[in-house]
Each structure stands twice: as C-alpha cells, then as structure tokens.
C-alpha cells in the first residue's frame, strides 16, 4: 500500500518557550507541541490516554515528561508511554526542524 507522508509546518522554533505546551489543530487532529528546557521539541496527540480523556497541552512539563493536567498521569514525551503505576500510550509524531521552522510529520 502506498503511504503518503505529509510534513506540516506548525511553528517557529524561536517562538516556543521552554517548559510550555502548545495546542495545534491540523484538520481534525489535535496535536500538543512541547519544548523542554534542553530545547528539544516533541509532538504528541493532544489527548490523555486516561479513560476519561482530557488534553495534554496544559500539563506541567518536567524534563522529558509531561503530567496530564486533569488526572496527573506522567507521560514520556519521547515515546508517549505512560509511566508506572499507570499504564497507557499516547501517539507521538516525528518532528523536523529546518531554518527555525518546525514540521510535524504525519
């Protein structure tokens, strides 16, 4: 099967503040963009894997983790895995940065 890879420019790298989350809507997909203190940018689906859902973009960012703002689950920004004692997984998206423009690869 043919797979289409789409690269969407979503933000300017220099505009993003560290330890902040940004919500970005691409068509009907909601993506949360995070920049860590070390300057790394991650993109995840903006939805907590908690059974009751909720957004991630307003969560507290600590290192390479974000804490889900409503149920306080700790989620790895690198691979989207929920940390113990909770379990679950958030879809992650690859990021490419060219000349200060951040692309999300869908």
Chain residues that interact with other proteins, rule: CB under 8 A: 6, 8, 10-11, 15, 17, 19-20, 22-27, 37, 51-55, 58-63, 67, 69-70, 72, 74, 84-85, 87
Residue 68 vs 92, nearer CB to other proteins: 68
Smaller CB separation from other proteins, 82 or 92: 82
| Contact of 21 with 59, CB cutoff 8 Å | yes
Shortest separation between residue 27's beta carbon and other proteins, angstroms: 6
Pick 6 or 99: Cβ nearer other proteins: 6
Q: Is the CB of residue 40 less than 8 Å from the CB of residue 64? A: yes
Q: How far is the CB of 36 from other proteins (least distance, A)?
A: 8
């Amino acid at each position: 099967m043919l797979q289409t890879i789409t690269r969407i420019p979503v933000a300017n790298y220099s505009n993003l503040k560290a330890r902040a989350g940004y919500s970005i809507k691409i068509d009907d997909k909601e993506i949360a963009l995070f920049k860590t203190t070390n300057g790394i940018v991650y993109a995840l689906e903006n939805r907590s894997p908690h059974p009751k859902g909720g957004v991630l973009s307003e969560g507290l960012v600590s290192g390479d983790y974000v804490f889900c703002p409503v149920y306080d689950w700790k989620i790895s920004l690198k691979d989207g895995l929920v940390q113990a004692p909770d379990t679950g997984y958030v879809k992650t998206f690859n990021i490419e940065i060219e000349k200060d423009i951040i692309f999300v690869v869908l």
